[in-house]
Amino acid sequence: MVICPIDSGRYGSPEMRRIFDEESRLSKMLSVEAAVAWAQAELGEIPREAAEEIGRKANTGYVKLERCKELDAQIGHDVMAVVKALTEACSGEGRRWVHYGLTSNDVLDTATGLQLKEASAIIRGKILALIRVLSDLAVEYKGLPMAGRTHGQQIGVITLGLKFAVWLREMMRHLNRFDECMKRALVGKILGAVGTGAALGPKALEVQALALKRLGLKPADMVTQVVQRDIHAELVSLIANIGSTLDKIGTEIRNLQRTEIAELMEPFESERQVGSTAMPAKRNPVRCEKVCSLAKLLRGMAVTAFENIPLWHERDLTNSANERFILPFSFILLDEMLDTMIRVLKGVVVYPENMRANLHRTGGLILSERVAGALVEKGMGRQEAHETVRRCSMEAYTTGVTFKEALLRNREVSSRLSPEEIESLLDPETYLGVALELVDKAVEATRRELEAYGSTLEG
């Protein structure tokens, strides 16, 4: 019976879920055992034939998940169960040297490093894919005017392309953060029970270096029995940070899809898609809402990751149980969120006519800043101009006259600005400032950074 919706396949791509399934975890633990034995043989610490036998048998073709679970049920130690199962599978000298000089977390933390290496490659590729989608949208809608809003109120003019460019640069920062974090996170540890390497002998550091190089990981920086959990806390909090940006994008699309605004809409991906059990006409932003919902869960897991940093002495188990959830879940859920947001943005529906109507909805009040600036240019003090335009704005709000009429009635305004000038000032589509230039700069900066990585915006 499936309890977790991840196990049902509802969340996460098959390739991401596969990295964290039980069979894959066992395979990686066995890979660590094989790599250590190989390194020990290379350095003359164990017989070569023993390492070769361990290397042959350290895979799920010989060491079965079912047998490991059976042994675990008997002895109550999941790593020792794997060690016993591998020992059973080996013959001759191989049996004697399985897990020699190691402790459980040499295997566990290094296997985690292998999982993070595979999972991070998938996440990085999807961050890059989202960056490319946002870049295309920023260019496509660079000059499309729309209302800018603060506190939920219209108060300026932006372009849709500028909105996409803001998200583009935020995701580029996340890519930079992700690459920096991976330098610290893709590590392993082969130094025994308290991190001294005593049981591995005088060549412990060489064993660790050789084994980890074979696995494609770096040695962690100063360990006890475990890789220090500040590394995992940084990673999980970064995942929550990325998820929060996706939450922000999803929240904005949801708001702009509101019936009263109707400027953007997430796509219906099928003619048969249903929006509501009750109302046949509904088109709910369910994909964006899913992203926003999962972001809440990601942020909660970051708290748990920080709680795992303080462990007793050289280690305890207070991190162990929860990490079986927070590490796989963080990657799987972010994978789902990135896939979802890429689909939403690739198919996002834009309504320029509604944007234009909304720009004119306030009758020019959205441009009060522009009028005040024009009065300053005509000789009025800035504070006096602000107060004059504020009074005109309040008159328009409270009496029902248009903002233009209120301005024309005001002697301080009408003595400085002609009706034609006021009419021109109240055209929102001519008040874009340097928005188009900003979009170009954002796209070009992203292009340069990606080229430095050896990537391109074009894919």
pLDDT, tens digit, for every residue of 108-147? 999 999 999 999 999 999 999 999 999 999 999 999 999 9
Q: Virtual CA dihedral for 261, 264, 269, 272, nearest 10 degrees?
A: 20
* High-pLDDT (> 70) share of the chain, %: 97
Identify which of 10, 4, 117 has the alpha carbon closest to the alpha carbon of residue 340.
10
Catalytic residue at 320? no
- Indicate if the pLDDT at residue 274 is higher than 60: no
Q: What is the mean pLDDT of residues 325-334?
A: 97
Using 50, 70 and 90 to split pLDDT, how confident is the model at 277?
A: very low
Judgement on whether residues 194 and 332 belong to the same structural domain of the protein: yes
| List 77, 91, 276, 414, catalytic entry | 276
pLDDT top residue among 341 and 456: 341
Q: At 390, which CATH number?
A: 1.10.40.30
Judgement on whether residues 415 and 459 belong to the same structural domain of the protein: no
- Indicate if the pLDDT at residue 270 is higher than 70: no
Judgement on whether residues 223 and 206 belong to the same structural domain of the protein: yes
Residue 158 pLDDT: 97
CB proximity list for 175: less than 8 A, separation 6 or greater: 124, 127, 128, 131
Q: What is the mean pLDDT of residues 182-201?
A: 97
Judgement on whether residues 282 and 243 belong to the same structural domain of the protein: yes
Per DSSP bridges, beta strands 218-219 and 349-350 are unpaired
Judgement on whether residues 73 and 50 belong to the same structural domain of the protein: yes
Residue 2 pLDDT: 85
Residue 280 pLDDT: 53
The predicted-structure confidence for 199-237, as pLDDT tens digits, reads as follows 999 999 999 999 999 999 999 999 999 999 999 999 999
Q: What is the mean pLDDT of residues 389-415?
A: 93
DSSP character at residue 278: S
**How crowded is residue 316: how many other Cβ atoms within 10 Å of its Cβ?**
12
Using 50, 70 and 90 to split pLDDT, how confident is the model at 273?
A: low
Catalytic residue at 99? no
Judgement on whether residues 210 and 248 belong to the same structural domain of the protein: yes
Full-model pTM: 0.94
The predicted-structure confidence for 8-29, as pLDDT tens digits, reads as follows 999 999 999 999 999 999 999 9
Question: Is residue 60 within 8 Å of residue 23, measured between CB atoms?
Answer: yes
- Indicate if the pLDDT at residue 34 is higher than 80: yes
Query: For residue 280, what are its two tokens?
Result: 């046949």
Q: At 133, which CATH number?
A: 1.20.200.10
Residue 151 pLDDT: 95
Q: What is the mean pLDDT of residues 280-290?
A: 84
CA distance 258 to 268: 15
Question: Is residue 385 within 8 Å of residue 345, measured between CB atoms?
Answer: no
Judgement on whether residues 405 and 320 belong to the same structural domain of the protein: no
Look over the chain and give the mean of its residue pLDDT values, rounded to a whole number: 95
Number of domains the chain is built from: 3
Judgement on whether residues 269 and 124 belong to the same structural domain of the protein: yes
The predicted-structure confidence for 252-269, as pLDDT tens digits, reads as follows 999 999 999 999 999 987
Judgement on whether residues 167 and 281 belong to the same structural domain of the protein: yes
Residue 149 lies in a domain: no
* High-pLDDT (> 90) share of the chain, %: 92
Identify which of 225, 244, 236 has the alpha carbon closest to the alpha carbon of residue 304.
236
Residue 150 lies in a domain: no
| Strand locations in 60-183 (E) | 145-150, 153-159
| List 8, 151, 270, 415, catalytic entry | 151
Query: For residue 313, what are its two tokens?
Result: 């002495």
Q: What is the mean pLDDT of residues 442-456?
A: 93
Phi, psi of 349 (to 5 degrees): -100, 125
CA distance 118 to 113: 9
Q: How far, rounded to the nearest angstrom, does the alpha carbon of residue 444 sit from its chain's CA centroid?
A: 22
Judgement on whether residues 203 and 321 belong to the same structural domain of the protein: yes
- Indicate if the pLDDT at residue 318 is higher than 70: yes
Domain that holds residue 391: 364-425
**Three-point CA angle 294, 298, 300, nearest 5°:** 115
Judgement on whether residues 78 and 111 belong to the same structural domain of the protein: no
